[in-house]
């Protein structure tokens, strides 16, 4: 009988402690969301605009390189060694320059986009009352999430509206 009274008292103390803890944090529900970082990045309007601008620059350089390539093929067909040497050098130089411009352009676009995305995501998290937003990127950061936590579409809509408004 004494043992059962002790067990009942312990049980009631545990329940009371649980109620107190729940009461203390009850109004502070933790909100967690997941955003597909790759999809967010790829669907950000600013990124699309910067890529379109970069594509125009690269297309122009690529056309020039193709023209030199065509002249090189004509020189090879004519077996003009001096012209082949000169055009080969020019073609290789242009190809290297194009590859470097492509790499630098991607690096610059990534830097500009993330410079704009990070503060926008901070603001998005605060406005939606999130305590934690986890970036799902398909590289092991998040192994599973159900759609309940997925904020990707909301985040894309928010950052694109913010971008369109000039912020």
Same-domain status, 83 and 17: no
Q: Residue 5: which pLDDT band, with cuts at 50, 70 and 90?
A: low
Number of domains making up the chain: 2
Q: Is the pTM of this model over 0.75?
A: no
Name the strand (E) or helix (H) holding 37.
helix 37-42
What residue has token string 């492509």? 102
What's the residue count for the chain? Answer: 167
| Same domain, yes or no: 6 and 61 | no
117 and 42 part of one domain: yes
Domain containing residue 147: CATH number: 3.30.910.20
1 & 65 share domain: no
How do residues 25-64 score in pLDDT, each as one tens digit?
444 566 888 888 888 999 999 999 999 999 999 998 899 9
Which three-class secondary structure state does DSSP give residue 35?
A: strand
Residue span of the structural domain in which 4 resides: 1-28
Rounded Cα distance between 85 and 88, Å, is 5
């Amino acid at each position: 009988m004494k043992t059962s009274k002790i067990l009942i008292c312990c049980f009631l103390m545990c329940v009371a402690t649980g109620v107190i803890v729940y009461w203390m944090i009850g109004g502070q529900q933790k909100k967690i969301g997941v955003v597909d970082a790759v999809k967010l990045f790829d669907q950000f309007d600013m990124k699309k605009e910067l890529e379109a601008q970069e594509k125009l620059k690269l297309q122009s350089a690529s056309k020039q390189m193709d023209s030199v390539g065509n002249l090189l093929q004509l020189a090879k067909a004519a077996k003009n060694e001096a012209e082949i040497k000169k055009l080969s050098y020019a073609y290789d130089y242009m190809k290297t320059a194009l590859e470097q411009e492509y790499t630098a352009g991607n690096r610059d676009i990534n830097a500009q986009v993330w410079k704009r995305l990070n503060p926008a995501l901070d603001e998005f998290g605060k406005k939606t009352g999130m305590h934690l937003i986890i970036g799902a990127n398909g590289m092991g950061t998040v192994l599973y999430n159900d759609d309940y936590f997925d904020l990707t579409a909301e985040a894309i809509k928010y950052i694109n509206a913010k971008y369109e408004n000039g912020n």
